[in-house]
Each structure stands twice: as C-alpha cells, then as structure tokens.
Amino acid sequence: MYFMLIQHQQWVLVHLHHRTKLPLMEQVNIQNMSDIKITSWNVRGLRRLIKLKQVINRIKQLKSKIIFLQETHLTMSDVKLVKNRWPGQVVHASYNNYARGVLILIHRTVPFQMIKTIQDPAGRYVIAQGNILSFAVNLVSIYGPNENNPKFFEDLFLTISTLQGSYIIGGDFNCTLNPTIDHSTGSDIYKTQTRQVINQYISDINLVEVWRE
C-alpha cells in the first residue's frame, strides 16, 4: 500500500492490530492490494469548478484509491459536484464556503462497506466506519486548528479510540510532530501542548506515522 502526502504538515497515521503492516492480503482480496495508494491533500478550496476538475484529474493521475482532502470550503449542497465527478463513495463534513471542510473519497474498486459516518459540525474532521470484506477499518480525515488547541485533538483521539477495528488517519494537522526535522527553523514552541497530545495518543493507541516508517 502506498501513501502520498501533499503539502507541509500533512500526516497519515495507521493502526493495525498487533502492528501488522499493510496490506493484509489474506483479509483484503482486491486485484492487487499492494498497489492501493492513499493520498492526503489540503486543497485550499474546491468551490471553483475548474479547481475541482484539476484536483480530481490529479488524483486519477496518481491512481489514488482512498483520499483525504482538507479545506474543501464546500457546503453540503456543493458536495454533489464532487459526487458527480468521483467514481466511488464521498464522505464529508462541511462548515461554510469560506473555511474548513473535509472529505474522504473511496474509489469504487475498494470494496468498502459503509456502516456509519461521524461528521464534525465545525467541519474539522469526518470519520467513515466500515468494512473491507471482513476487515473493520475507520477512515479519518482531519483539518486541525491553526491555533494551539490540544483539547481538539484530545477529544478527537478519545472518540477514535472507542471505535472498533483499525484506523487510517490522514490530514493537515497544522502542527509539526517533530520540529527538529519537520520545521525549517528546527523549533516550534507555539504548539508544544498540541504536539505533546498528538504524540501521546500516537503512542497510546498504537499508531504509526507512515512517512517516518
């Protein structure tokens, strides 16, 4: 399974029981599971039709099958424009047409059976709970607050930790996990508390940050 991170401070975190590495070939039988690509991308607005077409075309070029998008700036009624152009499932949480908004796109070749969605009314995260055959998985797209806000991540990870199955979490956290290697200055004291909370939950619920692994 391949992962593509587009833009700075994007992270994809995965959790699999017993830290089994993806793919689980015996559990998920797609034509070639090892070729599935997961992409996370802060698109900074999709309201312009030409921008939406460009993003969809780029995703198709990448051959991505599960995509986490942030800052879509789409209202609930706007999401139909995405659904008309994406060959598969679209899961979203909206805020307004100027800020926030997250999407999860699941290509029709991925046999994801949706069970439940959890939508943040503030448009900062959306969770798709479901199964890929007998494999229970939770897909999470996150757009973190710009300010130092550890409570947001604490509440979110507490919610995630209650879900059955494994997790694939992608998004723009707006926070570097390791300023020494992630920040141009080598330090980032502004979001120390937020970083501590994120890293603590990465450890507590057995997540792996795939860019480093």
Q: Pairing mode, if any, of strands 102-107 and 125-132?
A: unpaired
Q: Pairing mode, if any, of strands 166-172 and 10-15?
A: antiparallel
Q: Pairing mode, if any, of strands 88-93 and 102-107?
A: antiparallel
Residue 29 — φ and ψ, nearest 5°?
Answer: -110, 80
Q: Max Cα separation, the chain?
A: 46
Q: Which residues are annotated as a binding site?
A: 42, 71, 172, 174
Please check whether residue 110 is in contact with residue 65, taking contact to mean a CB–CB distance below 8 angstroms: yes
Q: Which residues are annotated as a binding site for Mg(2+)?
A: 42, 71, 172, 174
The type of residue at 155 is D
**Burial class of 101 by CB neighbour count within 10 A (0 to 12, 13 to 18, 19+):** buried
